[in-house]
Structure 1
Amino acid sequence: MNVLMLVITTVATDTRVVREAATLAAAGHDVHIIGRGVPGDWLPPPGVTVSSADGASVFATSRAALGGGPAPTGAPPGTPAAPRGPMPPYRRAARWMLLPQHRASAFAAWTRSARRDAADRVFDAVHAHDFNTLVLGAELARQRGVPLVYDSHELWSGRPRVGRPTPLLAAREARIEGELGREAAAVLTVGEGVANALRGRYGWRHVSVVHNTFPRGTAAAAVPLPDRPTGAVYAGRIAPYREIETIVAAARDLPGLDVTLVGPADDTYLGELDRGPVAVEPALPVDDVDALLRRTGLALVTHSDRWENHRLAMPNKLFHAVRAGVPVVATDVRELARVVREHGLGTLYRPGDDASLAAAVREACERYPELTANVRAAEPRLSWEHDAATLTGVYARLGAGRTA
């Protein structure tokens, strides 16, 4: 099949999109991805092609209202502009007020550009990643008479909201998601928690789970694990609602253990963060993160429980730790905690409680041999090889339906 994927990211750093596209290409499908701001020097996997649909928010020429500086390179639409120095109260208020319009304008501009890009392409299926591409995906699928696959990377209606509340917009989005998702030939999502929420909310019975797992084995496997952890690493976006403040506070109570945050940062948030004894590093390639995790011995898999999506989420960080072979110290929040307990992958702490986090780190150090053995035992079930079979099975059924 010729598969057209739609995603409003740079693609290059979107591990779920790249992994799914590469898997489908390896299974014999031709995949083209329309992304946004894709780096010109990035090489997609074999059998996959990529293009950029660009288009700026109407607010892009007035970034002072949104924070005073340019948005981070490759940031998706709606990313707050980075401030130049501390943000004055009036700018903070303007940013809070205007962000919903900024996001909506940016999504609309991308949609117009992506529609033009898709017009002359040949495709037998449309794969829409996340709600912000779903309307266009459904439109293209109807026009060509081809199946639509909706890939929900999160519970869209339950995700963290930055900026002023928009309850009418949220209700409208939920209605549209329910209607268009019902039209889709298949719905994919990242974990059983989100899958059950979608089934319960919309009555969908065509939801399959494809976790954000990693292929087994790592280029960093030659890096030996320590006999006892020397530190703990948070590898992911450094931004609000990810328990970063709790990590910093807990680090003060963990003398002798190096605590590191590594990943892309929300510059507004990072500029106001009291980092204490915690080291902050920029984003690293996946294999380099593997090596860092293995050298230090523990992965911090943290997020708040403030938003429904957080309570249902299965963070990439969890599966990255499994691939690296290291135990986790994770937030005791619903789906994340369930999987950690089910497989014995590490220890848990109460969200927002730095003393509980420090105690969980110390417990993980004491139980380290047991926990590392559990991680090794769980890897076959929590690896991409398992989830790839689900993905290719969905497309095999779509192909069979078209030839029946």
Structure 2
Amino acid sequence: MRILMIAQSPIAGDSRILREATALAAAGHTLHVIGRDVPEGFEVGPGITVESVSRSSGLRTGSGGLTVGHGHSGPKVLAKRFGRWLLLPEHRSRTEKQWRIAAAPRVAAAGPVDVVHAHDFNTLELAAEYAARWSAALVYDSHELWFDRALPGRPTPLWRARGRKYELSLAARARVVFTVSDGIAARLRSRGLPDVRVVRNTFPRADDVPPAPSRPEGLLYAGRVGAGRDLSTVVAAARELAPFRTVLMGSVDPNYRLDLGPVETVPERSIDEVDDTLRTYGISLVTLTNTCENHRLALPNKLFHAVRAGVPVVAADLPELRAVVTEHTLGTLYEPGNAHSLTAAVRTLIDDYPTYTEGVRTAAKTLNWEQDATTLVNAYAELAS
């Protein structure tokens, strides 16, 4: 089939979209992907073409990044922060809408196709419009529980309630809905979507995983450095764990400020290079704040990246993470926001490290992309028939 994927995420760094497109192309389909921030000359693989639609960079409040201490106060700074807090929800919605308007001519030029695959809610309206126009099958890929995320800015309860209702009205037109965890799938089914299938953010199995060391060298957080990741708790625990090393590796959200304390930083690396880095330190941090339903039902990429690398995890004790970590003996759990709990979880893992490394390596037989890609490809085979 001819498949059009639409996403507002930076395609080159979105491993889920790239893996899905590659799996479908390998199954014989032809794909065109419209996203944003695609580098010049970027290629995915045979049978896949990609194009980029730019999006505004968002509100800025000045310099940001990893810093020691804040050092900014006073009425003017507080007024700017309040203004940003007040205006951010409208700005976010307007930015996403402007992207859809800019992308519409590209979508129109890409069709007609057999399937329009919408990645996340912010592309669903556009995808549904053109799927109907071309009599194509609509597929909705919900990477998150969209209207239950923790978002910066003022509270927006009416926007969330209306958004859930509108999301369901559009998603009801989809032939199949994909999502990333059993918890989110159950929630979407409870809201009235009958065919919701789980395609987790797993990674392809590694060809060769070196033997695990008898003892870890440190903790590694490999992922986006920003709000919602509970990194202030990581810093506080690092003070208790020192001289045991705590390391952050990843790109930094604009305007995010974190008092690093004893935490080390290393440059961001490619997905494949992260495997070796995880093995160097020996423990992967899978941290989230307990601030929204989306976090409580999430299964972050970094959990499955640790499985691929053969490295145990210390993970936030949230329902969906707890279920997978305990079922497969992947590591230990800590209470989000509680540095003492995180410290205790790290020490427990160190004390019984061989048990958890064995659990991770056994889990790699089932928690891998080869398993999840089968769900995706089989669903498309049903659409084709």
TM-score normalized by the length of structure 2:
0.94
1:257 aligns with 2:247: no
The runs of at least 4 aligned residues of structure 1 exceeding 3 Å deviation read 84-87
**Larger deviation, residues 11-20 vs 246-255:** 246-255
Q: Which residue does 2:278 correspond to in 1?
A: 293
CA deviation map 1:39-59 (0-9, x unaligned): 1142222221111123538xx
Alpha-carbon deviation of 1:107?
Answer: 1.0
Question: Aligned ranges for residues 112-261 of structure 1 at < 5 Å?
Answer: 112-122=101-111, 123-200=113-190, 202-217=191-206, 221=209, 225-261=212-248
Alpha-carbon deviation of 1:108?
Answer: 1.3
Question: Aligned ranges for residues 292-311 of structure 1 at < 5 Å?
Answer: 292-311=277-296
Q: Which residue does 2:255 correspond to in 1?
A: 268
Q: Which residue does 2:61 correspond to in 1?
A: 67
Question: Which structure is richer in relative contact order (CA contacts within 8 A, separation 6 or more)?
Answer: 2
* Contact 2:247-2:266 at 8 Å conserved across structures: yes
* Contact 1:18-1:45 at 8 Å conserved across structures: no
CA distance in 1, matches of 2:240, 2:62: 36
Q: 1:101 aligns with which of 80, 90, 95?
A: 90
Alpha-carbon deviation of 1:85?
Answer: 8.4
Q: Which runs of 5+ in 1 are unaligned?
A: 73-83
- Superposed CA RMSD in Å reads 1.8
Alpha-carbon deviation of 1:284?
Answer: 1.2
CA distance in 2, matches of 1:280, 1:102: 32
CA distance in 1, matches of 2:207, 2:229: 26
CA distance in 2, matches of 1:85, 1:3: 51
1:363 aligns with 2:348: yes
Which residue identity does 2:265 align to in structure 1? V
Q: Which runs of 5+ in 2 are unaligned?
A: none
SS at match of 2:172: helix
Q: Which residue does 1:349 correspond to in 2?
A: 334
SS at match of 1:303: coil
* Contact 2:62-2:255 at 8 Å conserved across structures: no
* Contact 2:242-2:262 at 8 Å conserved across structures: no
Q: Which residue does 2:298 correspond to in 1?
A: 313
* Contact 2:335-2:341 at 8 Å conserved across structures: yes
Alpha-carbon deviation of 1:262?
Answer: 0.8
Q: Which residue does 1:372 correspond to in 2?
A: 357
* Contact 1:230-1:297 at 8 Å conserved across structures: yes
CA distance in 1, matches of 2:82, 2:269: 33
Alpha-carbon deviation of 1:156?
Answer: 0.6
CA distance in 1, matches of 2:228, 2:312: 22
CA distance in 2, matches of 1:48, 1:41: 13
SS at match of 2:384: helix
CA deviation map 1:154-191 (0-9, x unaligned): 10111111111222222221111111111100000000
Q: Which residue does 2:40 correspond to in 1?
A: 40
CA distance in 2, matches of 1:358, 1:56: 40
CA distance in 1, matches of 2:217, 2:305: 19
CA distance in 2, matches of 1:47, 1:37: 21
* Contact 2:238-2:263 at 8 Å conserved across structures: yes
Alpha-carbon deviation of 1:86?
Answer: 4.2
CA deviation map 1:202-223 (0-9, x unaligned): 221100000000000067x45x
Alpha-carbon deviation of 1:288?
Answer: 1.5
CA distance in 1, matches of 2:71, 2:12: 29
CA distance in 1, matches of 2:143, 2:334: 25
Q: Which residue does 1:14 correspond to in 2?
A: 14
CA distance in 2, matches of 1:256, 1:179: 54
TM-score normalized by the length of structure 1:
0.90
Alpha-carbon deviation of 1:105?
Answer: 1.6
Which residue identity does 1:94 align to in structure 2? G
CA deviation map 1:8-33 (0-9, x unaligned): 01200001011101110111111111
Which residue identity does 2:144 align to in structure 1? E
* Contact 1:218-1:323 at 8 Å conserved across structures: no
Q: Which residue does 1:322 correspond to in 2?
A: 307
Q: Which residue does 1:75 correspond to in 2?
A: none
CA deviation map 1:245-267 (0-9, x unaligned): 11111111112321111111123
* Contact 2:16-2:201 at 8 Å conserved across structures: yes
CA deviation map 1:101-120 (0-9, x unaligned): 21122111111121100112
CA distance in 1, matches of 2:84, 2:265: 26
Alpha-carbon deviation of 1:225?
Answer: 3.3
Q: Which residue does 1:50 correspond to in 2?
A: 50
State how many pairs are aligned. Answer: 377
Q: Once the two structures are aligned, what percentage of the paired residues are identical?
A: 49
SS at match of 1:267: coil
